[in-house]
Amino acid sequence: MEIDERIEEIIEELRSTPYNKATEHHIGRLKAKLARLREEAEKRSSSRDGGKRDNVGRVGDATVILIGPPSVGKSTLLNKLTSAKAEVGAYDFTTIEVKPGILEYEGAKIQILDVPGLIKGLRGGGREVASFTRSSDLVVLMTDILHVNVFEETERELYKVGIRLNQKKPRILVKKKITGGIKINSTVKQDISEETIKEVLKEYKIHNADVILRETIDINGLIDALMKNRVYLSCVRVINKIDMLEDQNLRPTKDTSIGERYNAIMISADKGINLEELKESVFKRLNLIKVYMKHKGEEPDYKEPMILKKGSTVEEICRKIHRDFVEKFRYAKVWGNSVKYGGQMVGLSHEVYDGDVVNISIER
């Protein structure tokens, strides 16, 4: 039996199996098997395609990907936010290849990728979309005022290929052993049984392990913790073409709370409405910080900050300046909220905060 047929067979069995305590462990094993088969199908598909993807390299301080149905205005938005000139039209599949652009905001250079329209089943270039999404830092999930119900469908398609939006990685630790069976320890009360947990682990050929659960989990969370292809990304929802609400034919959708209902930013890419709000949201969700470099005996360079991910260390700063800086590093002096006093000497592992001033000393 082909993988796709086995996948459909499991999906059908899941649909027809009622969920209760008696069937929980069986459903857990089915879901684990489904996740494993989907991963295998994705690998085979990528192998057949020869790993083909558009030749767009990562540049800038972070990468944002625009995902949404065809012709909701992604190319128009890219052109408004950046200096890119993506082809714009009123027909589906206008975007026939990945179009990159650079948004400059708050000193950061943010790469934005306009990808082919995402449609059900990840057809129409959907695998390439998934590939680019995995390597991005933030997803802007976009639709227009006429198709506000597609958010869940698009998120569902991404979910199937292991992309988790606005979720955190489950706090589960699995330590494999040679013998001793499966021992489960939890710091909080669990809703799923130990039998279910063991059935899921067995599907991944884990028969001896210490399992530590640091949060309440469900079957899906347990499977996610075991799968290697899961990616966790922040997501900003965007509803475009709000200027069309003025059209008398769209009165049924004329609802000022629509943005709140879908937890989305309402914009008009064509008219430039609320684009500053979108830029601010993108910058915040990327968790970027600004650090100002200082040469000995000189004032800090406040005009061109170094942009880093939140949680970055002095070592990341050194690597961003030049790879030799790590090998030749002596110490760094830091002024700001990450140190107890101004000019404190720190090492490579010191975490810097937003607004810190940093001076690096290396061997000459």
How many whole angstroms separate alpha carbon 204 and alpha carbon 74?
Answer: 40
CA angle, 126 then 131 then 136, to 5° = 120
Give me the pLDDT at residue 350, please: 98
Could you list the pLDDT tens digit for every one of the 364 residues in the chain?
Answer: 688 888 899 999 999 999 988 899 899 989 998 988 888 877 776 665 555 555 567 788 999 999 988 889 998 999 999 976 655 554 444 554 788 899 999 999 999 998 876 656 555 556 677 888 888 999 999 999 988 888 988 898 889 889 999 999 999 999 999 999 999 999 999 989 999 999 999 999 999 999 999 999 999 999 999 998 899 999 999 999 998 876 645 544 545 578 888 999 999 999 999 999 999 999 999 999 999 999 988 999 999 999 999 999 999 999 999 989 999 999 999 999 999 999 999 999 999 999 999 999 999 8
| Contact assessment for residue 342 and residue 306, using Cβ atoms and an 8 Å cutoff | no
**Which has the closest alpha carbon to 269: 98, 97, 68?**
68
How many whole angstroms separate alpha carbon 246 and alpha carbon 228?
Answer: 47
How many whole angstroms separate alpha carbon 299 and alpha carbon 122?
Answer: 52
In angstroms, how far is CA 302 from the centroid of its own chain?
30
Q: Is the pTM of this model over 0.85?
A: no
The owner of tokens 């993108």 is 282
Domains and CATH numbers, the chain: 3-50+170-226 (no CATH), 62-167+231-285 (3.40.50.300), 288-362 (3.10.20.30)
Give me the pLDDT at residue 20, please: 87
- Give me the phi and psi of 260, to 5 degrees please: -70, -40
